Amino acid sequence: MVSLQQRDFFIWAGLLIFVLFIPVAKPPSTLGEILAILAWIPGFFHQETRSNRLQNLKSRPFLLFLPAFFLLHLIGMAWTSDLSQGLKELNMQHYLLSIPLIFASINRNPKKEKHLLAAFLIANLVASCLTIFIRQTDIPLLKAELYLPSPFIARPRASLFYAFSLFLLLEIPWHLSLSRKQKIFWGLATFIQAMALINLEGRTGQIAFALVLPVWMVMRLVQKHKILWFTAFTILVSLLAWLSYLYVGNIQRRFREAFDEVTAYQEGFKDRNANDTSFARRFVFMEKSWEVFTEHSLFGVGTGDLQKEVYPLFDNHPLKIEPNKPHHQFLEIAVKFGIFGLIFFLAGWLWQLIIARPPTRILFLCFSLLSFVSMMTESTMDTQAGISFFVFMGSLLLLMACTKPGTNIVAPETATSDLPGKNNARA
């Protein structure tokens, strides 16, 4: 018979497998989730464990927001006519229920929580090395093509993962006292992660990182009255960004493509096939989704009827654009659940940001801002990789930011480190 300690071990092992493969592959990540769930459920049949978990759930309402959002998807099935598509949506969104409930009910284990962050960081560093290798060797088989994107070059969410990993690395010196060798390793890892982000095809993570970095700098340097360091760091980052744009062809090409596509969209695609664009088509997708939203603005079309309502609007489109979802997470939520569903989602997210406490508050804020920027240009929660990242990292960071280790109570304004490594916190 499996003991309770062994079950807890398998829960954390499943979560570790899950997060380790988020940046790489779907099947192993799914197996990790299944392992965690199978190890988690039997605990509710043990009276003492059940009582403890229910107490944890009661004291961590902030982690129940995403399960409540999943409940909205279930309720939305009531006015969904395409039940088959609705069930597919529920299957995609089930992470909103499983992962937060596990984190909300199990006892905190700071060491294992750091291992989860470290696993995600290591996985992205490995993927980053492959990204750089593929770019430098220029092997066509590894680079892949538009309709068979490489997971290390053109995967839509990879740039978002790399951007967050960079913030994980930037936070480490603020929480840990590093030796000289550790500083060298840290600098090398940060350089590799930054170069991989630059070499990716995806613009989302690059833009998000550029927008969130100044916020991080203000919170970390100005808040600590390190004005001189802030000024020097600002000049250095600005210089590196400008040089990257001038001399790194991939960055310049991708942003010029975006500008050209916007111009083509404004001119009605007179000299260009709209289906050959990536960025500009999204404006058309959003236009058609907006039309549906204005007709169902209060409660939306339901969990599974987005495609049924939006796609027919493309049938007689003069540009012959292939139908697609809005590529805008907030608009997609509004189309499905109306203005009330969108307000519920944004209000719950804002509530989580307000209650987050040190030492993980800044990292949680950076994660939230990165996700927000991504959701403005992508349906981030509409892919397995995107929703896995959003739900898992959001729940883990919020758990670390809102509860004390070994207790069920809300954490006060403390400054102990919750990042990977020893707890040598800085003030």
Written as six digits, the tokens of 186 are: 């840290």
Cα 6 to chain centroid, rounded:
30
**Cα 189 to Cα 182: distance, rounded to the nearest angstrom:** 10
CB-based contacts of 242: which residues, under 8 Å, 6+ apart?
A: none
Closest CA to 95 of 33, 42, 11: 33
Cα 16 to chain centroid, rounded:
17
Closest CA to 128 of 32, 205, 234: 205
**Cα 233 to Cα 236: distance, rounded to the nearest angstrom:** 5
The number of C-alpha atoms within 13 Å of 134 and in the hemisphere containing its C-beta is 21
Closest CA to 203 of 250, 265, 261: 250
pLDDT in tens, 66-113: 999 999 999 999 999 999 999 999 999 999 999 999 999 999 899 999
Confidence (pLDDT) at 223: 62
Written as six digits, the tokens of 315 are: 């049938």
**How would residue 284 be classed by pLDDT, with cut points 50, 70 and 90?**
confident
Confidence (pLDDT) at 258: 65
**How would residue 344 be classed by pLDDT, with cut points 50, 70 and 90?**
very high
pTM of the model: 0.86
Domain-wise residue ranges, the chain? 1-45
- CA dihedral (81, 83, 87, 88) positive or negative: negative
pLDDT in tens, 206-219: 888 888 988 888 88
Written as six digits, the tokens of 329 are: 């997470």
**Cα 223 to Cα 375: distance, rounded to the nearest angstrom:** 28
**Cα 165 to Cα 367: distance, rounded to the nearest angstrom:** 10
Strand partners, 3: none
